[in-house]
């Protein structure tokens, strides 16, 4: 049982390039989230999906797009990467609704934009 799986784990991009971060969960959860983590800033919510076919903006959505392809998969796309998007990205899925507080995280994707 893998839980939440993210790919790639590391990526270096040049400014203006595009890429997609993939996330899949095998826990049959409805909700999925994308966070970014920067030093001293904590985790900030980029986008979330409460169920298959729905997505909503979080705290810092600018520069990103998402797709909830099916119940298992939730991808995050950077259409034109900027140095300010250098960060560690985490995909997460809550056990039973986020107010239980238990999020299962992927291992993270470390992105550097030059």
Partner 1 sequence: RKEVEQDPGPFNVPEGATVAFNCTYSNSASQSFFWYRQDCRKEPKLLMSVYSSGNEDGRFTAQLNRASQYISLLIRDSKLSDSATYLCVKAAGNKLTFGGGTRVLVKP
Tokens encoding 73? 């998969």
What is the spatial distance between Cα 94 and Cα 65, in angstroms, rounded to a whole number? 21
Q: Residue for token digits 């299962």?
A: 104
Interface mask toward partner 1 for 2-41; x: CB under 8 A: -----------------------------x---x----xx
Residues comprising the chain, all counted:
114
Q: In angstroms, what CA-CA distances link 86 with 30, 59, 89, 98, 109?
A: 29, 17, 9, 26, 10
Range 39-98, binding partner 1 (CB under 8 A):
40-45, 48, 50, 90, 97-98
Report how many residues bind partner 1 under the rule CB under 8 A: 22
In the complex, least distance from residue 89 CB atom to partner 1, rounded to whole angstroms: 11
In the complex, least distance from residue 18 CB atom to partner 1, rounded to whole angstroms: 25
Q: Which residues bind partner 1 (CB under 8 A)?
A: 31, 35, 40-45, 48, 50, 90, 97-103, 105-108
């Amino acid at each position: 049982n893998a839980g939440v799986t993210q790919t790639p784990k590391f990526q270096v991009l040049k400014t203006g390039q595009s890429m997609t971060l993939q996330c899949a969960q095998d826990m049959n959860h409805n909700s999925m989230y994308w966070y970014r983590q920067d030093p001293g800033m904590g985790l900030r919510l980029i986008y979330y999906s409460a169920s298959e076919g729905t997505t909503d903006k979080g705290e810092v959505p600018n520069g990103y797009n998402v797709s909830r392809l099916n119940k298992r998969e939730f991808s995050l796309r950077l259409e034109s990467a900027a140095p300010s998007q250098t960060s560690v990205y985490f995909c997460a899925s809550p056990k039973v609704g986020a107010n239980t507080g238990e999020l299962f995280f992927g291992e993270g994707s470390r992105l550097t934009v030059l």
